[in-house]
Chain A
Amino acid sequence: GDSVTQMEGPVTLSEEAFLTINCTYTATGYPSLFWYVQYPGEGLQLLLKATKADDKGSNKGFEATYRKETTSFHLEKGSVQVSDSAVYFCALTRAGGTSYGKLTFGQGTILTVHP
């Protein structure tokens, strides 16, 4: 079945540091890929997405590129802020069949940014 693997956390950085959170996936066909963010006490919000190979999703300074050859969708940000402290989830969804709409999530990566 489909699966998503994220890098082990938690990740602790100083403000303005470079961020990478690795995400690799296993899925048949051509999944769409997402990064969701969960701020403390809140639900999940879509951060960015990519729907086909070589697409780059971007939002709020975060970027991720859909790499089909390496089945990866790594999240990057050039300069993190304290307000980026949250849990980040990589996820995928596949078209059609009985799994319509189901998001398959990675285990989540806790990011803490210190001033």
Chain B
Amino acid sequence: EAQVTQNPRYLITVTGKKLTVTCSQNMNHEYMSWYRQDPGLGLRQIYYSMNVEVTDKGDVPEGYKVSRKEKRNFPLILESPSPNQTSLYFCASSPLGVQGSSKNIQYFGAGTRLSVL
């Protein structure tokens, strides 16, 4: 089954304790992305990657890091989490292709709900 898998689904941590949220896709997609979802703001892009070793900032990258060492994995790293990073996080993937074509449909994981105390 084609899917994007995030782990963990729920996480409660304390300020300053480094954490990693994993994301893995089994569709051989080149493009992967992280979003955060906050009430009244919709989803905002944190980082994206167009292929292995190619990553770039989205709209809200401060306080986050990513890496893309393998095509299927795109972990999100919070080196020193703060309470303002409490949010619902989504990983997404899609194949590269002509913008707007059916190939550009992004597939989302089920989400990771993070609370930073």
Contacts and interface: CB of A to CB of B under 8 A. Distances in A.
Interface of A: 4, 31-32, 36, 41-46, 49, 51-52, 89, 91, 93-96, 98, 100-103, 105-108
B43 A93 contact: no
A103 B45 contact: yes
A101 B99 CA distance: 7
Contacts, number: 68
Would you call the interface of chain A mostly helix, strand, loop, or mixed?
loop
Interface residues of B, number: 29
Interface in B23-72: 31, 33, 35, 40-45, 48, 50, 56, 58-59
30 contacts: A31-B100, A32-B99, A32-B104, A41-B110, A42-B110, A43-B4, A43-B90, A43-B108, A43-B110, A43-B111, A46-B106, A49-B105, A51-B101, A52-B100, A91-B43, A93-B100, A93-B104, A94-B99, A96-B99, A100-B31, A101-B31, A101-B33, A101-B48, A101-B99, A101-B106, A102-B33, A102-B45, A102-B48, A103-B106, A107-B40
Nearest to A106: B42
